[in-house]
Copies of this chain bind each other. A is one copy, B any other.
Amino acid sequence: MSDTTDFGGDPTDTHDAIMCGTYDALRKHGYAGLSIQRIADETDLSKSTFYHHFDGKDEILLSFADYILEQFTRGLRIGSTGDPVTDLYTFLDLTLGIHPADGDSPNTEQRLGAYLELRSQAIHDPAFRETFTEMSEGYVDHLVPILQDGMDQGVFADVDPERTARFLLAIVDGIIVEVTTRTDDQRPLLWDALEAYIEESIIVAKRQQTDS
């Protein structure tokens, strides 16, 4: 943040440009194929600019993980609509991309793939582990009040909100694994299965309808 004048640009812009370039390069080449040169190729910046800001590829990627964490956290600040069912599906749209049947960006798979590649760095890198634990806890903090609100309104069944929130996050991550690592497209089927789970196990009205 102290290097404002060195390359004539606002450092925030430069940082954003590096982050956007990292995203594009990660989607194109994957983590294993990533290099500073390939990230630079996606921007108007020189390689030396990168080395001025970062020590190397790993530091850029960790910073990128923090960057997407911030983007997602910003996305969660939408606030409640007052309808817990809508709020729950808005969260799922945000994390999984909207239901494919509703028309969806063709980039969803690439975006989810970039997320999973970064997240899998956490298996061996404690710094990534910290970032993604923080991201998940942000999601739990967002989901628990939605579930609690639904229970208070009598719309949701009497579930353990924290356990259900963490289970939903695991399902979201699992769908991302299936969607980004197979030769076919499982997203429509898995979205339907997720909706069926929510309607059977979380939404109380639907459950009562089926029972009667």
A122 — which chain B residues lie within 8 A by C-beta? Answer: 180-182
B29 touches A180 (CB 8 A): no
Copies of this chain: 2
Within 8 A of B (CB), among A99-138: 113, 116-117, 119-126, 128-130, 132-133, 136
In the bound complex, CA of A186 to CA of B192 (Å)? 26
In the bound complex, CA of A198 to CA of B185 (Å)? 25
Given A30-B123, A32-B124, A124-B32: A163 touches B192 (CB 8 Å cut-off):
yes
Sort chain A's interface into a size bin.
35 or more
A94 within 8 A of B: no
A193 touches B167 (CB 8 A): yes
A116 to chain B, nearest CB (A): 6
A178 within 8 A of B: yes
- By beta carbon, the residue of chain B nearest A61 is B32
- Which of A's residues lie within 8 Å of B, judged by CB? 29-33, 113, 116-117, 119-126, 128-130, 132-133, 136, 163-164, 166-167, 169-178, 180-184, 186, 189-190, 192-194, 196-197, 200-201, 211
